[in-house]
Amino acid sequence: MASSSKERQWAMESFLTRLDELKTVLGIDVTPTLERARAELTAGTAARDRGDPDEASLHLAKAMAEIATLGDRLGEQEGALMRGLTAEFIKGMARGDQDAMERTLDSIQAKSGTPKEKG
C-alpha cells in the first residue's frame, strides 16, 4: 500500500531532524556533506509545500545521494545498502513511478528503525 501524503511529509522532516545524529555517529568531518543534504532537504520541503512534488522529489534524491556517500563509514554492507536504496529511489523518479519511490522511502524508514506515525 502506498504511503499517505502525511507520512511522506513526515519522512522529509524526519530526515532533516536526524542529520545531526549522523554527525554524532560519523564525526564532525562529515559536516559539509550533511549541510549539503540539509540544504537539499530544506529546498525539497519548500517545493513540496508549494505543491511541486517533482521538484521536491529531485531535492530529496540529491539529499539521499549526499547521505549515501557516507554509508561506507558505517561499514561495507551499510554503504552498499544506502547506495542501493538511493539508486532505487532515483530510478523510480526517472520512470515517474511514485509507488516505487514510496516503497524505497518506506524501506529507508524501516531500516533506520524509525517507526511510522499512526493515522
Residue 38 included in any domain: yes
Angstrom distance (rounded) from CA 29 to CA 53: 32
pLDDT-based confidence at residue 45 (cuts at 50, 70, 90): very high
Q: In the structure, what pLDDT confidence band is assigned to residue 91 with cuts at 50, 70 and 90? A: confident
- Look at residue 114 in the predicted model and tell me its pLDDT: 58
pTM of the predicted model, to two decimals?
A: 0.72
Q: Do 61 and 89 form a contact (C-beta atoms < 8 A)?
A: yes
Find the domain containing 48 and state its range: 5-111
Mean pLDDT of 25-35: 90
CA distance 26 to 118: 31
Residue 36 pLDDT greater than 90, yes or no = yes
**Which three cell numbers, joined as nine digits, stand for 65?**
545521494
- Asked whether residue 39 is assigned to any structural domain, the reply reads yes
Look at residue 64 and tell me if it is in a domain. yes
Half-sphere exposure of 32 (CA within 13 A, CB side): 1
Is 87 a domain residue? yes
**DSSP code at position 116:** P
Domain count of the fold of the chain: 1
Per the CB < 8 A criterion, the answer to whether 63 and 41 are in contact is yes
Query: Does pLDDT of 97 surpass 50?
Result: yes
C-alpha cell at 88: 532505487
The answer to whether residue 14 is domain-embedded is: yes
On whether residue 89 sits in a domain, the answer given is yes
Whether 119 maps to a domain, the answer reads no
Q: Output the pLDDT for position 50.
A: 94
CB 9 within 8 Å of CB 48: yes
Residue 34 lies in a domain: yes
